[in-house]
Structure 1
Amino acid sequence: MHTLTYADVKAAGDRIAGHVRPVALTPAEPLGRAGATLHLALELMQHTGSFKARGAQNFLLAHREEGTLPAAGVTIASGGNAGLACAWAARSQGVRATVFLPVTAPKVKVERLRGYGADVRLTGTEYAEALAACEAFSAETGALASHAYDHPLIAAGAGTLLEEIHRQVPGLDTVVVAVGGGGLFAGVAAAARHHGIRTVAVEPENCRALDAAVRAGHPVDVPVDSVAADSLGARRASAAALWAARQDGARTALVADDAIVRARRALWDDRRLAVEHAAATALAALAPEGDAARPDAGGYRPAPGERVCVVLCGANTDPSDLMDAPAV
């Protein structure tokens, strides 16, 4: 396993500068009686609607630098966001992209993929099945296999987000991110350790690949069943994410689906931000005491005066359920 370092994140930042949008931050209401301050990192405004654009650009630009982009192009298996980012980055560099998704992928993501010119292949009902088909395609055609999260170039690209947050929030104590397979967490944690910032990795209770890996001491397969499974439905966390979770300054947390739904609706009601359930997962960990992010589920409670930033990681969602549903 390649141990992700701060140098990897810095190199990625230099490589993708000018190719991605700098993250915008906004202050939010103080967190309860503790008086902790909260910022929201609006990475949902990134190219393709999620942080994945950072890793995709880093991956392809690094291979272009090395002269290792094949004529067959690039291929990836993805629940949607990583595929969108790969297709977008490939189009910007004149590279063919073939994207494998589960048949359960949201229609909005499939349509956007085709809009980026990707060859979309719908295979199986879960990410693992799409990944197997992608690997077979790569072996047969020679296409360069990217990965939704488990690659050092992908994770390092994601980690550039923390560098931008750190520059905008002096004295930041904690950054909170949602976790599927762990690419965002591994990259952010690598940069956060360098700056002495705590990283909280948040998962749905029933999509808990990282939590299971921490408990087992090694990555293991887990069942996937959550409202956020389209983005956080990895069956197995990466070894890099597990390594990051074991380091000082890292914490893991679990939240219930009803807390995720409430956090997503609150972002719409209070700020008119239409985010994916995955983005709301990070915020759900900070729900007020007595809300659905229960202490027994591992919700994160900031200390008095703690400065916290929550990453809202994606916006590739159908907002009709937000607009039609009654206020909570």
Structure 2
Amino acid sequence: MRAFLIGSTLLTALFAAVAVGRGAQPTPAQAETSCNASVVHYEQNRDAGQGLTELPWIAGGRGRQRIVGYLFYYPSVLGDRRANQERGVVIPTGGAVPSGANAKILWVPRGPSALTMLLTARQLDGPGAFRQRLHIASGGSYPSIITIPRAGCWQLTLRSGEAHATVVLQAIDAAPSGTCDATPIREEPNPALLSTIWIETIGASRPIYAVGSIHDGGSASEGATIATGGRKVMWVPSAPESVGLSLTVSGRRLDAVGIFRQQFPVAYAITPPVGPVFPSTIDIPTPGCWLLTVRGAKAAGIAVFGAVALTSN
């Protein structure tokens, strides 16, 4: 993988005088909630089996007791700001999402397990409780459809053989089908950017910032928008050591069928402040609501964009 050196003149030409700095911790984009839900990971799990590497996941327990839950339903809820602007996991009540899919979680224990897994759920902010017994499937995994009866903060305890873990889910009443709450645009100074218009990804790792063509379709209050056909976006890691030599951007349309995948090499600013950046031309194929998953070597996060057709005057 080739890396490139970028000086201040080229950065100015490409990204309208956006310069990269390093410094204080960013202010989190997500609001504090009363439910300390388990954090959703968007980086690829190195232990994931075939067909699971692109799925968001949560985990509980340590060592041989550890259990990972792969969130099959999650792309269907990521148009909702309660999911795409929070680090903690959310799940719709009733066991289904607006698209009609089930709220499926595949549980995979690290250590030896039994033929069944007992799932015990207890509402932390109310009187609710229920149990499910899950049966082992191929590869030693345990498929489940989690049917939570009411909104609230729910603790799930999972036991099977040596595996024993606890996770916390924020149960919500599902938003209407077609909801597209774009990632908020931040209009404030950022210690790591010489730009007052930017967004940040949400995920388990420290955020990756984006500047450039992130509000093509209207006012900043409408959230992140980008025109189709190829637009320049600069990705700036808040933790430079976590990104590696390339950045992958995977796109999935949330309101229709559509996917794309692009990879961009690292570049380095050679004038102070120095550090890795990822210049990109994001080529979204069609207008609509798009989920972008951004992954480096050890950092990953998501952003939701409203894609609009580029019009000429």
Q: Answer whether TM exceeds 0.5 for this pair.
A: no
Structure (1/2) with the larger strand percentage:
2
TM-score by length of 2: 0.30
Structure (1/2) with the larger helix percentage:
1
Larger radius of gyration: 2
TM-score by length of 1: 0.29
